């Protein structure tokens, strides 16, 4: 199994950059909750051991690595709300969350490594898009871990306020049980109304009431 490494960052640091930030987001696919992004500037002299794409790690391992990242690196978190997702669409909201994460870093980075194939228009710093970057760049992997851990905790908290949807385990993604709960319990303020399964329920409910 190939693991992410520090190749991208080393090349940029050698070329004169002082702080290279990896940027990733989580939460494009769920029916509920915000989209969350993280920006992480790793210290080349203190790299947490075992960084990898967050999807390849257990929840317990992510939690441990997340704590190490916060301790050893510079971290910024950004979110875009359900209202923003519905208003500007999920892609633009994801980019907005990334922009906010970079702005939240304690020091401005010199260069960004963005997971995916697009660089958000609102980011004016030098940047490279890295396809499948969370499996190639340690900084992006670290950002993926922080973003997922942050969002999972947030959805766990929301699950306590809105029980029955299984957000503590499905994190708002469209699992079978989540979709059944949506039909049986209805739409909450934290559901994305522009997403088809939610929109369809609202539309059907309106048709019935009309």
Q: Consecutive sets of 10 residues in the chain, 210 residues long: mean pLDDT of each?
A: 92 97 98 98 96 95 98 98 98 98 98 97 96 97 98 98 97 96 96 95 60
**Residue 84 known to bind ligand:** no
pLDDT at 1: 63
Query: Whose CA is closest to 120, among 132, 131, 108, 128?
Result: 128
**Residue 152 known to bind ligand:** no
pTM for this entry: 0.94
pLDDT at 125: 97
Set out the domains of the chain in order of their start, with CATH numbers. Answer: 7-161 (3.30.420.10), 167-209 (no CATH)
**Residue 115 known to bind ligand:** yes
Q: Edge to edge, what strands does the sheet with 111-115 contain? A: 74-80, 35-41, 20-26, 111-115, 127-130
């Amino acid at each position: 199994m190939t693991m992410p490494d520090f190749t991208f960052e080393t090349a940029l640091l050698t070329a004169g950059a002082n702080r290279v930030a990896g940027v990733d987001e989580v939460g494009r696919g769920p029916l509920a909750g915000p989209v969350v992004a993280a920006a992480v500037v790793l210290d080349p002299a203190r790299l947490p051991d075992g960084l990898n794409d967050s999807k390849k790690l257990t929840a317990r391992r992510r939690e441990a690595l997340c704590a190490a990242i916060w301790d050893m690196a510079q971290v910024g978190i950004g979110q875009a709300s359900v209202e923003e997702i519905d208003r500007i669409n999920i892609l633009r909201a994801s980019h907005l969350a990334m922009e906010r994460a970079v702005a939240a870093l304690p020091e401005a980075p010199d260069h960004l490594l963005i997971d995916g194939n697009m660089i958000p228009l609102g980011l004016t710093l030098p940047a490279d898009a890295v396809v499948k970057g969370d499996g190639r760049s340690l900084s992006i992997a670290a950002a993926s871990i922080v973003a997922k851990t942050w969002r999972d905790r947030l959805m766990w908290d929301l699950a306590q306020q809105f029980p029955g949807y299984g957000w503590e385990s499905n994190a708002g993604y469209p699992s079978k049980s989540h979709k059944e709960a949506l039909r049986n319990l209805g739409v909450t303020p934290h559901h994305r109304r522009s997403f088809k399964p939610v929109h369809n329920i609202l539309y059907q409910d309106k048709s019935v009431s009309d």
